[in-house]
Amino acid sequence: MRTKYKYLEFDRDGDIWICFNHVTDEQLGRVEYYAKWKQWESVLNAEIGFTEQCHKDMADFLSQLNSQKRTKTKEKPNEPN
């Protein structure tokens, strides 16, 4: 799974992913699983601005996580992921 992009990098910390600007090492927010919606979501820190490319990279990362979650659910429907 891809975790490093042009400016963004994602590091796993337990059940969440921390999003960093890997150029400045600034923490931008986190990615966590939202059970009610059954998908991963981004939660950005206040006053964080994203360019079009950052949004595309975040969307790609979320898509990977959601695809992975759906695959695991299909393989083991009775076990928590």
State how far the Cα of 4 lies from the Cα of 12, in Å rounded to an integer: 12
* CB 31 within 8 Å of CB 62: yes
Tell me, yes or no, whether 80 lies in a domain.
no
Mean pLDDT of 62-78: 82
Q: Is residue 67 part of a domain?
A: yes
More confidently predicted of 14 and 74: 14
Confidence check: pLDDT of 56 > 60: yes
Residue 81 pLDDT > 60:
no
- Cα Rg of the chain, angstroms: 13
What is the number of domains present in the chain?
Answer: 1
Strands, DSSP E only, in the chain? 8-13, 16-21, 26-34, 39-44
* 31 found inside a domain: yes
Domain coverage including residue 67: 8-75
The 8-class DSSP code of residue 7 comes to: S
Is residue 81 included in any domain, yes or no? no
